[in-house]
Amino acid sequence: MSAFMTHLYAPGTLQEAVDRILRVPDRHRTFTKDAAFAAETWAIGPALLEALLDHGLPHRGEGDQRRFERTDLHNISTYLNLPSPYFQALTRKAQAMDEVARKGERHLHELELRASCADPGHPGECAFTPVSGLGEHSEPGSLRESSPGVFTVRAQLPSNTHVFDEDRSDLLSLVADWELYVLPDGVIEDEGFSRETRLANCLIPTRLLLREAGRRGIRARHGAGLLVAPPFTTLHHWVEFELDGAWVPADPVLLTAFSRWGLTDPAGWPYNRSVAGIVWHLLTWPPEVFFPVVRDHGGQAPLHISAH
């Protein structure tokens, strides 16, 4: 390892980053991404990449032909807080959450959704249809299709935050120590894997908490929609509890991740506090991991979402 890498990252930190991804069995890796992708997308430059290889980063091939698993690069970059566009977007989401909670005002975001053809083989022109929640939970009258497949909307995100009671906090504690992780396709819905490794996406702990809430007699529902903050907006799953006739979102794994990454104050944002100002509920009980926000001839349309 170079002297620069030794100074920038303690060897133990790099080893921890690699050991963490090694919890994922190698059979779930596809090894399709090269060093240029690591640098350009995940801010893992040549020197750092070589240091990670010294610590056992999985790969195939040698020299310029080396290939890596995309989720390994993603998760290592986030673990090391590297300045990738993804991590910068996470930082803005955490800042937005904190800002909205402090102001106590409903937050509005201007969103643009650009849908692509779901299946180039379908007959006729594309027929793009947004999910009903896109209009129902936005500023009235703001949803518009400016051109085929291009929608603009003003998202209304609640500002209220709430520290949950003992029963709900005890429920949320079941996954509070799990680490938010981008899972490869082979384990993307595998609760057993997440229980064993404490690595989880947003879907698996949501399903677990809902099942356990039902067993404990706690009224809860599956919330799905968007995690919103400029410039990037992503699909997200979370659990919601009914309190005094309103549904209040909870996301202990996300809050723990924000704290672990140094993006929020853990004293101010414990795992048992509700999230506000960044989650926008569009669907309830979605069956799919990657649920549709816009459909084309009934199929899920690929979507790019930007927020302002």
Range of the domain at 12: 3-83
CATH number of the CATH domain containing 179: 3.10.620
Say whether both 52 and 185 belong to one domain: no
pLDDT tens for each residue of 131-189: 999 999 999 999 999 999 999 999 988 877 899 999 999 999 999 999 999 999 999 99
The answer to whether residues 299 and 118 touch, using CB atoms and an 8 Å cutoff, is yes
Q: Are strands 150-157 and 303-307 parallel, antiparallel or unpaired?
A: unpaired
Which two tokens mark 203? 């879907």
Say whether both 58 and 169 belong to one domain: no
Q: What is the pLDDT of residue 2?
A: 47
Q: pLDDT band at residue 8, thresholds of 50, 70 and 90?
A: low
Say whether both 187 and 79 belong to one domain: no
Task: Identify the domain boundary among 61, 83, 105.
Answer: 83
pLDDT tens for each residue of 86-115: 999 999 999 988 888 888 777 788 999 999
The answer to whether residues 18 and 52 touch, using CB atoms and an 8 Å cutoff, is yes
Say whether both 243 and 96 belong to one domain: yes
Whole-number Å distance between alpha carbons of 280 and 267? 25
Say whether both 74 and 133 belong to one domain: no
Q: pLDDT band at residue 230, thresholds of 50, 70 and 90?
A: confident
Say whether both 166 and 68 belong to one domain: no
Say whether both 52 and 71 belong to one domain: yes
Task: Identify the domain boundary among 29, 51, 83.
Answer: 83
Say whether both 76 and 179 belong to one domain: no
Residues 6 or more apart from 121 whose CB is under 8 A from it? none
pLDDT tens for each residue of 41-88: 999 999 999 999 999 999 999 999 999 999 999 999 999 999 999 999
Say whether both 92 and 74 belong to one domain: no
Strand partners, 178: none
Whole-number Å distance between alpha carbons of 223 and 239? 6
Task: Identify the domain boundary among 56, 83, 110.
Answer: 83
pLDDT tens for each residue of 258-286: 999 999 999 999 999 999 888 999 999 88
Say whether both 111 and 176 belong to one domain: yes
Closest CA to 192 of 210, 174, 204, 209: 204
- Encoded amino acid at 289, one letter: V
Residues 6 or more apart from 264 whose CB is under 8 A from it? 94, 97, 98, 255, 258
Which two tokens mark 184? 């490869």
Number of domains in the chain: 2
Say whether both 202 and 104 belong to one domain: yes
Q: What is the pLDDT of residue 126?
A: 94
Write down the mean pLDDT value for the chain: 92
Say whether both 117 and 261 belong to one domain: yes
- Whether the per-residue pLDDT at 3 is higher than 60: the answer is no
Q: What is the pTM for the complete model shown?
A: 0.92
